[in-house]
Amino acid sequence: MAIIGSANTAFDLMQDCYRAGLQTTMVARSATYIFPYEYVMDPHGIGAYDIMPLDAADRLLNTFPFALDGQFSHGLFAHLASQEP
């Protein structure tokens, strides 16, 4: 089975296929940066995952205006990635 794309739904499908015992390949047009779970929980971020249930934190963080979200995410992830060896 082939999954075209590398957005959130593609990863959900990959997990479902794995659980069903299917061999699956993900095909993407360009490189995809997958950031570690620790980045989401980092104290330099908003900290929503520390103070509210997962579904509420997801809703809060995924409803930022696009322009604001892009600036915030880019700056935060650039900072965190610069700390990696």
Residue 48, classed as helix, strand or coil, is helix
For residues 39 and 65, state if they share a domain: yes
* Confidence category of residue 13, pLDDT binned at 50, 70, 90: very high
For residues 17 and 55, state if they share a domain: no
Total number of domains in the chain:
2
Is the pTM here over 0.85, yes or no?
no
Spatial distance between the Cα atoms of 79 and 81, rounded to a whole number of angstroms: 6
Containing domain of residue 78, as a range? 35-85
Spatial distance between the Cα atoms of 69 and 85, rounded to a whole number of angstroms: 26
Phi first, then psi, for residue 3 (nearest 5°) are: -115, 125
- pLDDT for residue 16: 95
Average the pLDDT over 18-38 and give the result: 85
* Residue that has been written with the tokens 């205006």 in this structure: 65
> 57 or 26: whose pLDDT is higher?
26
